[in-house]
Structures are given as structure tokens and as C-alpha cells.
């Protein structure tokens, strides 16, 4: 296989070729390395391509047999490998535990070949950090690739690998998927175990999954990574059949709630709203009942929760710094994270109770507000990819902790609410702007119902295909 052939396959396609003996896992690893060498110096998506990549273990079977994979430098861990979280505070840190996520990756046939960039602690939705610099968007290097799964999205969009790991605590899979033209699902809370060290991470807001290019890869990844492990805080309802089999099932007639208004202070761009309208029209033509929905929450309530969760993490950050033998200051933390730490470090323990009660209220009120709908259709981001830097980056020193969280809630207005509630939600690359930038549209399902999302996503992929789109910076462009 040659590189120009490799980049045309999704992960499912490559896995089938390996299983059929038409190509080997080692050949795919070498092709991924070749692609990396061509485009990574331009996009800075991968901070470490493992020196031992050609001997990385993986099951010689599974849906993704032999497929190259990358690890976000935050969230799931690989024993003995570096994990720095995009932060100078953790530079040089090696983890001791294999997370269940990467055990399942190996069992599914994936070969994890390296680490991808992330903003510090994933706090920002922009693709830059003081530790690792700027990750460029393959569609336009002047623009952000999104965050916090920045390097993962850029690497997949540029053709280095067909699938890579991400994590989503407030839009961190869906934002880069939208801005880089990919499929990005944030599964239901509890669908993907974060054990053994991070079960119910961040009070269930953060979930690990992948960024990929096709709906069938999303479905296959659900089959590979889903399932409970001992010690998980609760066991979510399990699917009736493998998710890849949902690709063959009828969708039925659904009641669809469409967000045609903004849910925060940032206006939705006309082209983004047009993408939502086109998707709603496609669903209506399929026979679904489509109707407008009101914003299910107040942006100020979400901002308060964001700040409160950061307050709760302050103590854990202090312990982690001591374990590294380092101090928390401007030499180890970026401005926004330092301000968030200082905001929360001296608050009383009782503050956590107020935060958890705010979370409970939002879950209950939003759940009630959207109960009548089978799925929701919303923008992912109100705008197409923004330039690097600016007020939304964790390197910004102009905002207070409160102002930063208000700005975050305003920009990611359709995303973080579903991290709070736990509903599954997927960004699909259903449109492009007039200047050829990707526009993602979000489909939100009922809690625990990824099966319906798989079927709806399949229908929209067929009705509004995106497979032929390729960014200007791509490993297959010669």
C-alpha cells in the first residue's frame, strides 16, 4: 500500500484489509509515520511519535485490526509513557497505570503510536499551550483546530491516522470535530469507563472517546470501547445489539427539537444557522417530526457550575504539584489556570455542596425541558474556526477567573450543558462555509441511547455526504 491509498481509507476499511491479509499492521504503522513526517512539522499535532512504534502491541484481530491510533496527552493513560497534560507543571511525568480505555484499544486491534497536543488541562477550546506551542488547523493554519482534543483532530483531518483518542468535558471532542471537519461523539456518562484511576472523572462531565472520519468508525469505536469495569460508580443500560449492527437498522420516525436561537451571549453566524436549517430539512424529508425548541438552560447557570468545578479541582492540583516536587506559580501554570487555582484554593469544603446542588438542579431542569424530544439538532459552535490567541485561550491574562468562565459558557453554549446532564451528543461535518471551512452540526440523543444517534448519523451521512472533502494540508496531497 502507498500513502495516497492509505489516506483514503477510514479505520474500519484499514482493519478489514489487515484481517484479509492485504496489508500488515507494520505497513500501516510505517505509512502513519510517513504521513506524520510530511505534515506534522506544519500542523504540530503530534508531540511524540513513539520510538518503538513499530513494536507496539495490539490484538491481531478486532474491528480495528492493525489500525494506527494516537493518544491525547490528557485523560486515559498508558503505563510507562509520558503524560504531561499540556502543562509545564507536569513536564516529564510518566504514568504507572494502563487505563481501561487503552486496554480496550489494544483488544480492538488499535496500535497507539504517539501523543497528541492539548491545551493545558483541557481548560481551553483553543489549540495552543505554553508547553507545546500552537497546533494549526489543516484547513487554515492561521485558525485554531479547537480543543481540547486539538492534536487528535488535526492529525486525523490531515490524514496521519484515521482515528485518534479524545476527551470531552465541555465540548473538547465536538469543538475540534466541528472546526476540523470530523465526526466527534461524546458518549453518555458511564458508556465508556474511565477506570481504574479516573472513574466518574470530573463528576461525570468528562468522557473519553475518539475523533474519526466516518459514522461506521464511530459505531465500531463504540463497540470497541464501551462496557463497564469493576469499581465504576454506576452501570449504564447496555445496548441491545452491537453498534455496527445499528447501521443496518431502520431509524423510525423521531420527534426532533431544533435550536434555531442562540443559547448564550455569542451570536450564531448565519452560515452556521443555515447548516442547522439544511440538516433539519433533511430530517423532515426523511419523515421525522421537526419543531423549534427553546434554550433548555441559562448560560449564567452553566458558567457558575464551570467555575465551581474548577474550584473543587484546586486541592487536587496542589497535591499533584507536591507529587511532582514543584510549586504552583506563573512558571508552572498558564494565566487562566493559575487564576482558577487561586480562586478555589481557600474556599470552604461546604462550597462543594453548593456546586453539586447546582449540577443536580441543571440535570433535572434540562432533562425535563428536552424530555419531549427523541433527538435535538443544534449548532456545535456558533462560529467557524477562530484565529489563534485571543480571549478564549488559557494563555490570556486579561480575564479574571469569573470572566473567563463567562466567556467559555458563551462560546460553547450548545455543548457543555450536555456534559452536565450526561446525554450523548455528536458533531457531524454536514456543511462548509463560503470560504470552505467545516461547519459541524450537533445531534443530541436521549441518555444511554447511542443507538439512535448511530442510525440518525448514518442517515445524515448518506443525505449530506462529507467523505470527499479534504483540507489543503493533507498527507495525501503530495
pLDDT cut 90: percent of the chain above it: 95
> What's the CA gap between 179 and 392, in Å, rounded?
15
Answer whether residue 69 shows pLDDT above 90: yes
Q: How many CB atoms lie within 10 A of CB 366?
A: 20
461 grid coordinates: 451521512
> Is residue 478 very low, low, confident or very high in pLDDT (cuts 50, 70, 90)?
low
Residue 200 confidence (pLDDT):
74
Summarize pLDDT for 418-449 with one digit per residue, the tens.
999 999 999 999 999 999 999 999 999 999 99
Sorted by sequence, the CB contacts under 8 Å of residue 391 that are 6+ apart come out as 398, 399, 407
CB-based contact 151:114 (threshold 8 Å): no
442 grid coordinates: 450537533
| DSSP codes, 193-218 | --TTT-TTGGGGT-EEEEEES-HHHH
Mean per-residue pLDDT for 306-314?
Answer: 94
* pTM listed for this prediction: 0.98
Strands 46-49 and 111-116: antiparallel
Domain count, the chain: 1
Residue numbers annotated as active site: 72, 148, 172
Q: Give the CATH number of the domain where residue 114 resides.
A: 3.90.1300.10
Answer whether residue 38 shows pLDDT above 80: yes
Provide the β-strand partners of residue 378. Answer: 442
Query: Angle at Cα 83 formed by Cα 81 and Cα 86, nearest 5°?
Result: 150
Strands 289-292 and 255-258: parallel
Summarize pLDDT for 215-234 with one digit per residue, the tens.
999 999 999 999 998 889 88
393: which DSSP letter? S
Residue 28 confidence (pLDDT):
98
Mean per-residue pLDDT for 333-341?
Answer: 97
Domain range for 211 is 3-477
Query: Angle at Cα 150 formed by Cα 132 and Cα 375, nearest 5°?
Result: 160
CB-based contact 179:171 (threshold 8 Å): no
Q: 353-362, 369-378, 389-398: which range is least confident on average?
A: 389-398
Residue 199 confidence (pLDDT):
76
Mean per-residue pLDDT for 282-311?
Answer: 96
Mean per-residue pLDDT for 253-274?
Answer: 97
276: which DSSP letter? H
> Is residue 198 very low, low, confident or very high in pLDDT (cuts 50, 70, 90)?
confident
CB-based contact 422:360 (threshold 8 Å): no
| DSSP codes, 229-273 | -TT-S--PPPPSS-HHHHTTS-----EEEE--S-SSSSPPPHHHH
> Is residue 203 very low, low, confident or very high in pLDDT (cuts 50, 70, 90)?
confident
CB-based contact 395:335 (threshold 8 Å): yes
Answer whether residue 84 shows pLDDT above 80: yes
CB-based contact 74:121 (threshold 8 Å): yes
Count of CA atoms in the C-beta half-sphere (13 A) of 454: 25
Q: Is 136 helix (H, G, I), strand (E, B) or coil?
A: strand
Average pLDDT in the chain: 96
Residue 133 confidence (pLDDT):
98
Residue 31 confidence (pLDDT):
98
Summarize pLDDT for 48-63 with one digit per residue, the tens.
999 999 999 999 999 9
CA 272 → CA 24, 267, 283, distances in Å? 42, 10, 17
Identify which of 82, 60, 104 has the alpha carbon closest to the alpha carbon of residue 209.
104
> What's the CA gap between 290 and 376, in Å, rounded?
9
3-state helix, strand, coil split of the chain in percent (to 5) is 40, 15, 45
Residue 464 confidence (pLDDT):
98
Sign of the CA dihedral with 307 first, then 101, 366, and 267 last = positive
Amino acid at each position: 500500500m502507498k500513502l495516497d491509498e492509505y489516506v483514503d481509507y477510514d479505520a474500519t476499511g484499514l482493519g478489514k484489509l489487515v484481517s484479509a491479509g492485504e496489508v500488515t499492521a507494520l505497513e500501516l504503522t510505517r505509512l502513519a509515520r510517513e504521513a506524520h513526517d510530511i505534515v506534522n512539522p506544519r500542523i504540530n499535532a503530534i508531540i511524540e511519535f513513539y520510538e518503538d512504534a513499530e513494536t507496539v502491541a495490539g490484538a491481531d484481530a478486532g474491528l480495528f485490526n492493525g489500525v494506527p491510533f494516537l493518544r491525547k496527552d490528557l485523560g486515559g493513560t498508558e503505563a510507562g509513557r509520558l503524560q504531561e497534560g499540556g502543562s509545564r507543571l507536569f513536564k516529564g511525568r510518566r504514568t504507572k497505570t494502563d487505563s481501561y480505555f487503552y486496554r480496550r484499544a489494544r483488544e480492538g486491534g488499535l496500535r497507539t503510536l504517539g501523543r497528541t497536543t492539548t491545551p493545558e488541562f483541557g481548560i481551553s477550546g483553543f489549540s495552543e499551550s505554553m508547553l507545546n506551542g500552537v497546533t494549526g488547523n489543516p484547513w487554515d493554519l492561521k485558525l485554531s483546530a479547537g480543543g481540547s482534543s486539538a492534536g487528535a483532530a488535526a492529525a486525523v483531518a490531515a490524514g496521519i491516522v484515521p482515528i485518534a483518542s479524545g476527551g470531552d468535558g465541555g465540548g473538547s471532542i465536538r469543538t475540534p470535530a466541528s472546526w476540523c471537519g470530523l465526526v466527534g461523539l461524546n458518549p453518555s456518562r458511564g458508556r465508556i469507563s474511565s477506570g481504574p484511576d479516573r472513574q466518574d472523572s470530573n463528576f461525570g462531565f468528562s468522557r473519553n472517546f475518539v475523533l474519526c472520519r466516518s459514522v461506521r468508525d464511530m459505531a465500531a469505536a463504540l463497540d470497541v470501547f464501551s462496557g463497564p469495569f469493576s469499581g465504576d460508580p454506576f452501570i449504564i443500560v447496555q445496548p441491545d445489539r452491537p453498534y455496527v449492527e445499528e447501521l443496518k437498522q431502520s431509524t423510525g420516525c423521531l420527534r426532533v427539537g431544533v435550536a434555531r436561537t442562540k443559547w448564550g451571549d455569542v451570536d450564531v453566524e448565519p452560515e452556521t444557522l443555515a447548516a442547522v436549517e439544511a440538516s433539519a430539512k433533511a430530517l423532515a424529508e426523511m419523515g421525522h417530526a421537526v419543531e423549534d425548541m427553546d434554550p433548555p438552560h441559562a448560560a449564567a447557570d452553566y458558567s457558575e457550575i464551570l467555575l465551581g468545578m474548577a474550584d473543587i479541582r484546586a486541592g487536587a492540583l496542589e497535591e499533584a504539584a507536591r507529587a511532582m516536587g514543584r510549586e504552583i506559580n506563573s512558571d508552572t501554570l498558564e494565566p487562566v489556570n493559575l487564576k482558577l487555582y487561586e480562586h478555589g484554593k481557600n474556599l470552604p469544603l461546604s462550597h462543594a455542596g453548593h456546586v453539586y446542588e447546582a449540577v443536580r438542579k441543571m440535570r433535572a431542569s434540562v432533562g425535563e425541558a428536552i424530555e419531549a424530544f427523541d433527538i435535538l439538532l443544534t449548532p456545535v459552535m456558533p462560529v467557524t474556526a477562530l484565529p489563534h490567541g485571543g480571549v478564549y485561550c488559557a494563555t490570556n491574562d486579561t480575564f479574571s477567573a469569573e470572566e473567563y468562565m463567562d466567556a467559555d459558557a458563551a462560546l460553547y453554549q450548545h455543548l457543555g450543558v450536555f456534559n452536565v446532564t450526561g446525554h450523548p451528543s455528536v458533531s457531524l461535518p454536514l456543511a462548509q462555509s463560503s470560504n470552505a471551512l467545516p461547519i459541524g452540526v450537533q445531534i443530541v440523543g436521549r441518555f444511554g441511547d447511542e443507538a439512535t444517534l448511530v442510525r440518525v448519523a448514518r442517515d445524515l451521512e448518506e443525505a449530506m455526504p462529507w467523505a470527499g472533502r479534504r483540507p489543503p494540508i493533507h498527507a495525501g496531497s503530495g
